[in-house]
């Protein structure tokens, strides 16, 4: 029961961090692509890679993967927002931008997760 509460609390903190980060990135400039989601999802992937790597390579508590990964990263990142943003780009006739958004987000997330795992393996 305590683990579920910690995951829920971390998820709420992740969602609040996403909201604040999105606003900060939006204020930093006008972007032609939905850059905030890309940045946030990439950072979340890096964090999950770091936490998973810490548990795997340094004997950290496995519960941290649930709390930080499922909880915080789950609340912080969002596949659904990225999907809707891609659909909006397609609907606006910007197929190349939609492909860049979807492909770039996938590649950036996977590379960030691998980077976090690699850093923790050192």
- Spans of all domains in the chain: 2-121
Tokens coding 54: 């810490």
pLDDT at position 24 is 95
Rounded CA separation 38/100 (Å): 11
Cα of first residue to Cα of last residue in the chain, in angstroms, is 34
Name 55's Cβ contacts closer than 8 Å, sequence gap at least 6. 61, 62, 64, 65
> pTM here?
0.93
Helix 35-58 to helix 2-28 angle (10° resolution) is: 140
Residues present in the chain in total: 122
**Residue 70, annotated as binding a ligand:** no
CB of 46 closer than 8 Å to CB of 115: yes
Question: pLDDT tens track of the chain, all 122 residues?
Answer: 788 999 999 999 999 999 999 999 989 988 888 999 999 999 999 999 999 999 999 998 888 889 999 999 999 999 999 999 999 999 999 999 999 999 999 999 999 999 999 999 99
**Residue 77, annotated as binding a ligand:** yes
């Amino acid at each position: 029961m305590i683990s579920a509460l910690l995951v829920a609390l971390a998820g709420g903190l992740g969602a609040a961090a996403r909201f604040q980060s999105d606003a900060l990135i939006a204020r930093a400039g006008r972007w032609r692509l939905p850059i905030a989601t890309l940045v946030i999802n990439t950072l979340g992937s890096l964090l999950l890679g770091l936490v998973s790597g810490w548990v795997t390579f340094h004997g950290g508590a496995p519960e941290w993967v649930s709390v930080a990964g499922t909880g915080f990263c789950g609340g912080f990142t969002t596949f659904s927002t990225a999907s809707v943003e891609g659909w909006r780009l397609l609907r606006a006739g910007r197929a190349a931008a939609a492909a860049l958004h979807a492909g770039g987000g996938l590649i950036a997330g996977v590379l960030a997760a691998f980077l976090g795992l690699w850093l923790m393996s050192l």
